[in-house]
Structure formats: C-alpha cells, structure tokens
Amino acid sequence: MRILIIGGGGMVGQKLAHNLALSGTLGNRKIAELTLADAFAAQTLSSTANFPIKTVVADITNPVIAQSLITNKPDVIFHLAAVVSGEAEANFEKGYSVNVEGIKNILEAIRLTGNGYMPRLVFTSSVAVYGGPYPEIIHDDFHLQPRTSYGTQKAISELLVNDYSRRGFVDGVSLRLPTICVRPGKPNKAASGFFSNILREPLVGIEAILPASKSATNYFASPRSAVGFLVHAANLDTSVLGDNRAMMMPGVWGTVGDEIDALRRVAGDEIVALIKDEPDPVIEKMLSNWNFPDITSARARALGFKAENTLDEIIQVHIDDELDGKIPGRSK
C-alpha cells in the first residue's frame, strides 16, 4: 500500500512516519511507499525502512500542487498540515488558506481522480471546535460553537470531510485531538504551546514562563497517543460511523495547576521551581474562549481509541520517549 502524510515534516507527522517505518505495515497490509509532504523540506528519517520514503515540498493551497500529491493514488492519506491556533488568530488569511482551502484542495483532487479511487483520509481536527457555554461534561453530541478562527477552520474542514465521504468520494475520518503534551522540540505558535513548555523546559533544567492562570483548563494526550489515534483510524471500520465522520479522541482533563502538581510528583520541587509566572493578556483571553470541562470521548473509546489516564503518565511518556528515561534538569 502507498501512504501519504501531508504535514509529514511536523512533530506528529515525523513520529507517525517513524512508527510506520519501524512496523513496515499498516494494519495487515505491507507498506510499499511512504511520502512525506510539507511546506518545507521534511528531515530524513533516522530509522531504516524496507520501503522507499520520499519527501516532497508542497504548498497545498495551490490546487495544482495538491493534485500532484494524489497522482500515484495513495491508499491512505494522513492530513496533518495546519496553521496552528495562535498563528491562525494572528494571520486570518493564512489560517483560512491553509486550514480550509488546503483540505478542500486535497478532497477535490481525490474527487477529480475518479475511476473508483476512494482512499482512507485521516484528518486531524481539534478540541478547539468546541465553545461555550459548556455543560458539566462535553458529550459526543455537543454542538460545535468555536470561538477562535482556528476552531472555526477545523469545524468547516470536518464538515467537508463528512460531505465528501457521504458522497462516496473519500473514506474520511476526522480526529478531534486533545492538546498534544508534552510536545518535544522548540515552542511553536500554538496558543496552547505553554501547556507543554511549562513541563518540557524544567525537565531539562531551563526556566519556563507560565503566561496564564493556574486555573486554566485543557484536555491532554501525549504524542505517543496521537500516533496511536492516527494508526487506529487508518484501520477503522468506518461503516460504523455513519455520516458523522468526526469524533473527539480520549485524553486527560486538567488545569495548569494539575499539570504542575503532576510535574512535582514525577520530578520534584526543584524542577517545579523553574516555572515563572508572567501573565499574558492575549493568551489569557484566548484561553477564556476554551476553558474546557471534562470530555467523555465515549464514541472513540468504544471504537478502541486509547490514551493516558493521568497527567503523571503523560509526563512519564515524555521522559521515556524524549529524555531516555532520565530527568537531566534535576541535580544529582
């Protein structure tokens, strides 16, 4: 089978590619070719695969380029590419161009290929599609009322995936991802980035800025879980989904204070002391539009999607996967 990862140069795309390279299969099918497409050159995978891996620089806001990605008819397409939340809010036109026109161009390229071509498309949506006022718990049938441009763009994209799937052009699944935490590497432009920063930097002995209140809430899952969601979705029997191809992925609800408490339990007071409060009104305003309650994710859980159960587990996954099981920021 042929696999295309759009957004293959990003953190989740790279981790997914490594997973596929190591396994050599997706479900019970052998991988014949993997293509990583992104707006910039994706780094070469360090793991050895028994199939060719290609990297392509591609601007999916250009319909001709989007069509070129579908020329060899990939069997599975992971659409991970996006302008993240903070940047989508700051640059309105870019957010809609990439986050809405990009997925529409890919869907149109699939439709226009025709001749019975109907690949599995796994699209990464976001918890940001929700907006208040919230009930005590968000259930699967809770309405979408996003209060940011990013959330609106993701909600529009979900509807496109639903409609193209209903019409038989594509076999789509939209995964509403929790905030992925702890993100390795450097901070990005996501408004939610600090949820990772306040854990990642202290664990390696670097001060981290906390720009929001400790009462701010979010819904979390690790990068390892994110890859698991994507692989599971690629193998899912979509006939059980009906016309609604979108679902909220499992995760762990918590406040910033809960994150800090978990970090203290896992790594100690010395590490927690590296977190410095510096309120940022812009970040705090955006967070007030989220302020999520707990989310059941019952539909996804019933279909076999799995994530961590505690913030302590999420932090330990980061230590194991990114820090070789050690905490370098802690003095001997």
Active site residues: 150
Distance of alpha carbon 177 from alpha carbon 193, whole angstroms: 14
| Helix, strand or coil, per DSSP, at residue 105 | helix
Beta-carbon contacts of 53 under 8 Å, excluding residues fewer than 6 positions away, are 17, 21, 33, 34, 35, 36, 45
Gap between the Cα atoms of 100 and 149, Å rounded: 11
Residue 40 to residue 124: CA distance in whole angstroms:
19
Q: Which residues contact 324 (CB under 8 A, 6 or more apart)?
A: none
Residues shown for the chain: 332
Question: What are the residue ranges of helices labelled H in the chain?
Answer: 11-23, 63-69, 85-90, 92-96, 102-113, 149-166, 194-203, 223-234, 256-267, 269-272, 281-288, 298-302, 311-322
Question: Residue 188's CB: how many other CB atoms inside 10 A?
Answer: 16
